[in-house]
Amino acid sequence: MSSDLTIVLLSLRVASVAMLLALPIGFALAWLLVRKQIRGRFLVEAVVSLPLALPPVVIGYGLLILLGSKGPFEGVAFTAFAASLASAIVALPLIVRTFVVALDGVDPRLELAARSLGAGSWRVLMTVTIPLAYRGLLAGALIGFVRALSEFGATIVVAGNIPGRTQTVPLGIFTRIQAGDDSAALRLVAVSIGLAIATLIVHDLLLRRGGLSGRRQRAGFGA
């Protein structure tokens, strides 16, 4: 059996890598949904939200088909990266939804004003959009991180439950319960609860400071 520390550190690593994958993609999707009149918007929203509605085990199985020995990305399954990938996909809908709210709160006229003042799209993003939406963005990142930390169903299918390699906190708890080692299981449960409460408190603080206050929406001069 892995030590508590190994499991917790691996969990944090898996969830962090999951965020490295999910946050940029989540931001890009949210930005598209909020700022661009894209065709097939409904389809994008549906696909992004699908992991919320599906049993995680289905996501895991889908990934296993893609990453397993017969899949196009053979050899990725049963690695820590596969665990990160599974966590990222499950966390993505929550991230996108929170980011959409955060970006929607930024008055598009401020972005237009910045462009007219000589800032290119990238600079507008870095100096206006992100600074104005950062509380909501941070809240989205935290929610995503918590979701990634608690991921079980998809992970166990595509990454297995390999001590020291893919055994994260939820999987460790599962193994210890099955082994009948209640006190060891409860130690990890305590860690889980501690991490969750800490993140939720920070999340709540961020939102309460009014980062998501609604602003009047107008594109360009006039309507």
Partner 1 sequence: MNPGVPGPELAGVLRFAFTRTQGNFSLKAAGDFGSGITALFGPSGSGKTTLLNCLAGLFRPDDGEIVLNGRDLYREGSRTFIPPDKRRIGLVFQDGALFPHMNVADNVMYGWRRTPERDRRVNVDHVVELLGLQPLMKRSPDSLSGGERQRVAIARALAMSPGLLLLDEPMASLDGRLRGVVLSYLRRIREDLGIPMVYVSHSISEVLALADDALVLSNGSVVASGRPSHVLLDPALGGMFQDDPIENLLDGTVSEPGGAGMPGRVRVGAADVVTPPTGRPADTPVIMALGAEEIILATQQPSGLSARNVIAGSITELEPVGDRLYATVDIGVRVLVALTQGAVDALNLEGGQDAYLVFKTSSIKLLDAAPAGPI
Nearer to partner 1 among residue 114 and residue 191 (C-beta): 114
Q: Does 187 bind partner 1 (CB under 8 A)?
A: no
Q: Does 115 bind partner 1 (CB under 8 A)?
A: yes
Name residue 111's amino acid. E
Nearer to partner 1 among residue 44 and residue 119 (C-beta): 119
Q: Does 114 bind partner 1 (CB under 8 A)?
A: yes
CB of 196 to partner 1, least distance (A): 31
Nearer to partner 1 among residue 5 and residue 223 (C-beta): 223
Contacts of 210 (CB under 8 A, 6+ apart): 135
Interface residue with partner 1 among 132, 137, 156, 173 (CB under 8 A) is 132
Angle at 54 between CA 52 and CA 56, to 5 degrees: 90
In this chain, which stretch among 65-73, 92-100, 119-127, 201-209 interacts with partner 1, using CB under 8 A? 119-127
Distance CA(143)–CA(15), nearest Å, equals 11
> What backbone phi and psi angles, to 5 degrees, belong to 38?
-85, 150
Query: Six-digit token pair at 73?
Result: 């990305």
Taking a C-beta distance cutoff of 8 angstroms, is the pair 148, 88 a contact?
yes
Nearer to partner 1 among residue 50 and residue 119 (C-beta): 119
Interface residue with partner 1 among 128, 148, 185, 188 (CB under 8 A) is 128
Q: Does 113 bind partner 1 (CB under 8 A)?
A: yes
Burial class for 44, CB neighbours closer than 10 Å (0-12, 13-18, 19+): middle
User: Crossing angle of helices 80-104/130-149, nearest 10°?
Assistant: 140
Distance CA(88)–CA(66), nearest Å, equals 15
Burial class for 174, CB neighbours closer than 10 Å (0-12, 13-18, 19+): middle
Question: How many C-beta atoms lie closer than 10 Å to residue 28's C-beta?
Answer: 12
Nearer to partner 1 among residue 116 and residue 183 (C-beta): 116
Residues in contact with partner 1, shown as a per-residue x/- string from 201 to 220 under the rule CB under 8 A: -------------------x
Q: Does 50 bind partner 1 (CB under 8 A)?
A: no
Interface residue with partner 1 among 54, 112, 125, 207 (CB under 8 A) is 112
Interface residue with partner 1 among 35, 109, 165, 187 (CB under 8 A) is 109
- Residues in touch with partner 1 (CB under 8 A): 107, 109-110, 112-120, 123, 127-128, 131-132, 220-223
